[in-house]
């Protein structure tokens, strides 16, 4: 379960993302960004927010943008910082490109290998919890009970519209542009409200 609050990050996520996206080789035009949907995974330690946004920039392709939200800087990841924002409940949040965050790598690998899904999101409004209807659904192709190995240090590199995450003994491929081919033996498929479905990530050994 993911818990979110009836409060806005300032600047908003999209305000943080527009300038960051404009520097990404896989983005194209970053003006007029609209959010089509999102899905979340749970950090096993309950410390890091893990959310992936589906965005459209103008009449361009749909972008698949994993983010992590942290209460303190991620050591050694300055170049992957999207920006910082102030949250009325949680305080300062450091927002990172998820592909460079070991928590994202672990949650993605777990969902793919075990046939997992996005988690339910609940809105906390003054202590009253309300389940949010999902705007996107994710499902891994693996089997429940599959063992997920401990992952080594994470590094990532862009390869056209795909980012490759190295986290020995696994390699994860994450589509930045929906529809890009992601090589791997097991996959993550996402469906979003008012749209279609696509394979957006894959995992392989080595």
Other beta carbons within 10 angstroms of residue 46's beta carbon come to 8
pTM here? 0.93
129-164 pLDDT, tens digit per residue, is 777 788 999 999 999 999 999 999 999 999 899 999
Given a cut of 60, is residue 67 above it in pLDDT? yes
Of residues 155 and 30, more confidence is placed in 155
Greatest Cα-to-Cα distance within the chain, rounded to the nearest angstrom: 47
CA distance 17 to 182: 23
The DSSP string of 93-131 is EEEEEGGG-HHHHHHHHHHHHHT-BPPPEEEEETTEEEE
Q: How many residues does the chain have?
A: 206
Residue 137 neighbours by CB under 8 Å, 6+ apart: 39, 117, 118, 190, 191, 192
80-97 pLDDT, tens digit per residue, is 999 999 887 778 999 999
Residue 60 neighbours by CB under 8 Å, 6+ apart: 28, 29
pLDDT at 193: 80
97-133 pLDDT, tens digit per residue, is 999 999 999 999 999 999 999 998 777 666 667 777 8
């Amino acid at each position: 379960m993911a818990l979110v609050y009836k409060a806005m990050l300032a600047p908003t996520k999209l305000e943080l993302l527009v300038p960051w996206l404009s520097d990404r080789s896989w983005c194209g035009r970053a003006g007029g960004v609209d959010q089509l949907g999102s899905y979340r995974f749970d950090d096993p330690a309950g410390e890091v927010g893990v959310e992936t946004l589906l965005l459209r920039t103008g009449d361009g392709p749909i972008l698949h943008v994993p983010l992590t939200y942290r209460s303190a800087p991620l050591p050694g990841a300055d170049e992957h910082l999207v920006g910082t924002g102030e949250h009325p409940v949680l305080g300062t949040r450091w927002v990172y490109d998820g592909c460079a965050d070991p928590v994202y790598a672990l949650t993605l690998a777990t969902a793919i290998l075990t046939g997992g899904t996005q988690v339910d999101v609940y809105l906390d409004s003054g202590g009253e919890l309300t389940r949010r209807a999902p705007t996107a659904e994710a499902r891994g192709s693996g089997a429940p009970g599959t063992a997920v190995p401990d992952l080594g240090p994470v590094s990532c590199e862009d390869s056209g519209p795909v980012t490759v995450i190295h986290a020995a003994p696994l390699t994860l491929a994450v589509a930045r542009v929906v529809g890009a081919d992601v090589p791997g033996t097991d996959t993550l498929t996402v469906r979003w409200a008012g749209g279609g479905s696509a394979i957006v990530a894959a995992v392989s050994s080595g």
